[in-house]
Amino acid sequence: MQFLEKMKKLYRSDSFWAGLLRDVFFVIAVVVVFSSVSHIVFGLWTPMVAVESGSMIPHIQIGDIILVEGADRKEVITYMEGKQSNYTSFDNYGDVILYRPYGREEVTPIIHRAMYYIEKGEPMWNGGPPAPHAGYITKGDNPKTNPSFDQQGSISYLQPVKKEWVIGAARFTRVPVLGCISLIPRGNLACLNG
């Protein structure tokens, strides 16, 4: 009973410190509720990512916020499958996926389109080397900065994206510019150049 009395007193108090403490409790409660709902709906505790580069222009811009649904929630539809079934995501065929290059946790995840899925030993592209393991061949939508597959360049060189490296698939639509709020303090000034 004493605890409830103290809580009532804190709630009714007009002091600066009591108000600050109430605000901190409120923010913590909002974060807990948002994270819990996000985990239930999207399968991830933090389902939003800020896009850091122009590799997905014209469909996704630098500074966009993208909602990501956990990989265990939905099967990824590749560009080739999307083309056959007329399924589109972010104005092109197939899903845009968020993945960890080489499966490394410490590396910034990449958000690119899953072009097609290959099995171990299949050529990674026409005339390309055999795949060391099964996985997705991925590519950014920007033809200027990403003229070839990620597996042909430095992003995921000769390594198809294993299913377990996929964090999730981008969903719904992009929220423009809002991601700049988190990018600029981290030193990414690309938002300011657009």
Confidence (pLDDT) at 13:
75
Residues 83 and 176 in one domain: yes
CA torsion sign for 46, 76, 143, 86 is negative
Residues 149 and 178 in one domain: yes
- CA atoms lying within 13 Å on the CB side of residue 161: 32
Contact between residue 43 and residue 67 where contact means Cβ atoms under 8 Å apart: no
Residues 111 and 186 in one domain: yes
Please give the average per-residue pLDDT across 30-57, as a whole number: 70
Q: What is the 3-state secondary structure (H, E, C) of 89-135?
A: ECCEECCEEEECHHHCCCCCCEEEEEEEEECCCCECCCCCCECCCCE
% of the chain exceeding 70 in pLDDT: 85
Confidence (pLDDT) at 34:
62
Q: Residue 22 is part of which domain span?
A: 2-42
Residues 71 and 96 in one domain: yes
Structure-model confidence comparison of residues 46 and 128, the more confident one: 128
Residues 111 and 175 in one domain: yes
Angle between helix 2-12 and helix 16-42 axes, rounded to 10 deg = 110
- How many structural domains comprise the chain? 2
- Identify the H or E element spanning 19: helix 16-42
Residues 59 and 133 in one domain: yes
Residues 105 and 156 in one domain: yes
Whether the pLDDT of residue 4 is over 60: the answer is yes
Residues 28 and 52 in one domain: no
Residues 38 and 125 in one domain: no
Q: What is the DSSP letter of 17?
A: H
Whether the pLDDT of residue 43 is over 60: the answer is no
Residues 30 and 63 in one domain: no
Whether the pLDDT of residue 102 is over 90: the answer is yes
- CA atoms lying within 13 Å on the CB side of residue 67: 12
Q: What is the CATH number of the domain that holds 111?
A: 2.10.109.10
The residues with which 113 forms a beta bridge, in sequence order, are 96, 139
Residues 82 and 139 in one domain: yes
Calculate the alpha carbon distances from 128 to 19, 138, 145, 156 in Å. Answer: 64, 14, 21, 15
Per-residue pLDDT tens over the stretch 140-189: 999 999 999 999 998 999 999 999 999 999 987 788 877 777 777 677 76
Residues 152 and 167 in one domain: yes
Q: What is the DSSP letter of 138?
A: E
